Structure 1
Amino acid sequence: MAYRYATERRDHSDLACGNVLRSAPGHPGFPVRLADELFQRAAAHLPAAPLALWDPCCGSGHLAASVGTLHRDRLSWLLATDTDPAALSIAERNLALLTGRGLAERERVLRAEAAELRKPTLLDRADTAARLAGRLSERGGDLDHRVGAGDVFDPPEPERPVDLVLTDVPYGGLTSFTGAPPDGEPVPAMLRALAAVLPERAVLAVTARTRKVALPEGVRALERLRVGNRAAVLVRAGDARR
């Protein structure tokens, strides 16, 4: 089956980390434009039906929440997992913004803080939350999602079939993998482990702050690209198992 590559560009300022989506020290955000681009590229390798998305290194949930907001009309379900309880606590609040109730509560809190602290910038952020709620409603309403603990080197099979994995590899002094990969090479080990619990046709899109994302020996990429200081690779789950 042939898939057509089609990406669209849009304004991502409403999803900047720390605007409506929450941020915290040690839990960096992810470039929203790159998340948007990677989702569109990966989706081009899959049938057009609504897709189930999984971020297995979700951290604060910024990447997953951004893609869920931008592509609500193309998603059926979203799963976000991590091994860090502190990160998952933030991710739960960010993924709650994929519901009308969550966005309404975020808007209410921001308006109350603006009145208490007399900060007009908080009113701007509250207006952004209201704007995001309107877009969510237009694109299908609340997105079904789950946030939970999960180890990328020994992942449980997702409760529903996943079509697309999109994740940013832990790096540097800000974030790191928990536990040791089976063969000493974290990214290839992660790809093989995740591929083992995915349908063969699923696509994994992985980014890292490196010149080139390593693949398991003998595995060919569907695509590679570089944006700024990040490299990305797309690979078919069935290929990553071999």
Structure 2
Amino acid sequence: MAYRYATERRDHSDLASGNVLRSAPGHPGFPVRLADELFQRAAAHLPAAPVSLWDPCCGSGHLATAVGLLHRARLCRLLATDTDPAALSIAERNLALLTLSGLAERESGLRDDAAAFGKPALLERADTAARLAERLRKSGGDLDRTVRAGDAFDPVAPEHRVDLVLTDVPYGGLTAFAGAVPAGEPVPALMRALAAVVPAHAVLAVTARTRKVPLPEGARALERIRVGNRAAALVRASEAAV
């Protein structure tokens, strides 16, 4: 049975980067509404069982953390990798928010800062952390997650089965890839590299700031999406590996 894609519009302001989830210079937050839609669309192409998700270009971890909090009930584990040590440091702190203790610590820190600096806005953010903790508690509690260094162009096979690769790649001139970047078109090469280390049934959901996400030669998209200045393509791993 496939996961049914829901079209209802939800308020995602609690998950905005810089609210409870931490932001980092050079690593802007991902649009949460688009993250929600991409996950639901991708999950609709997978069996209705708990999904293991991997973000191989995780940056600050905002995308992975937002999806984890939105869809904890559908997820069994989450892996986030990147080549940038500074970004991984922020990602570790963000993905810690996928635990009740991490959210409690974040709420407590915001309340302490509100008292120390006399900023009522921090109390509002603390209340947001409390709401996110209640959401996490109701949807399954702590999510098994791993954050580690990893090169998406030369990936190490994940420790556990991966059903969904969901990532926002640095493409279109605003940011740059790092690691073992091959010559030529980088995104199709990235998809081929990732498809080689995940099961054939897995879905790759890749988004970038471009008009159209390029695919490996011969590959067919399950779906294509365009929202604002971002485009996304959903591809079965067996197609991307051709």
TM-score by length of 1: 0.97
Partner of 1:42: 42
SS in 1 for 2:27: coil
Preserved contact between residue 6 and residue 44 of structure 1 (Cα < 8 Å): no
Extract unaligned runs of 5+ from structure 2: none
Partner of 1:218: 218
Aligned pairs (5 A) from 1:162-241? 162-171=162-171, 175-241=175-241
Aligned residues: 242
Alpha-carbon displacement from aligned partner over 1:97-120 (angstroms, at most 9, x marks no partner): 000000000001000000011000
Cα deviation, residue 185, structure 1: 1.2
Cα deviation, residue 4, structure 1: 4.8
Alpha-carbon displacement from aligned partner over 1:204-234 (angstroms, at most 9, x marks no partner): 0000100000001111100001000000000
- Tell me how far apart the structure 2 counterparts of residues 2 and 171 of structure 1 sit (CA, whole Å): 31
Partner of 2:144: 144
Extract unaligned runs of 5+ from structure 1: none
Distance 1:173 1:235, change over 3 A: closer
- Tell me how far apart the structure 1 counterparts of residues 4 and 24 of structure 2 sit (CA, whole Å): 38
Percentage identity across paired residues of the two chains: 80
CA RMSD, Structure 1 to Structure 2 (Å): 1.4
SS in 1 for 2:45: coil
SS in 2 for 1:65: helix
- Tell me how far apart the structure 1 counterparts of residues 173 and 22 of structure 2 sit (CA, whole Å): 20
- Tell me how far apart the structure 2 counterparts of residues 111 and 173 of structure 1 sit (CA, whole Å): 40
Partner of 1:69: 69
Preserved contact between residue 2 and residue 47 of structure 2 (Cα < 8 Å): no
- Tell me how far apart the structure 2 counterparts of residues 27 and 212 of structure 1 sit (CA, whole Å): 22
SS in 2 for 1:54: strand
- Tell me how far apart the structure 1 counterparts of residues 194 and 177 of structure 2 sit (CA, whole Å): 15
- Tell me how far apart the structure 1 counterparts of residues 199 and 109 of structure 2 sit (CA, whole Å): 41
- Tell me how far apart the structure 1 counterparts of residues 163 and 24 of structure 2 sit (CA, whole Å): 30
Partner of 2:97: 97
Partner of 1:120: 120
Cα deviation, residue 130, structure 1: 0.6
TM-score by length of 2: 0.97
SS in 2 for 1:179: coil
Alpha-carbon displacement from aligned partner over 1:73-99 (angstroms, at most 9, x marks no partner): 000000000000000000000000000
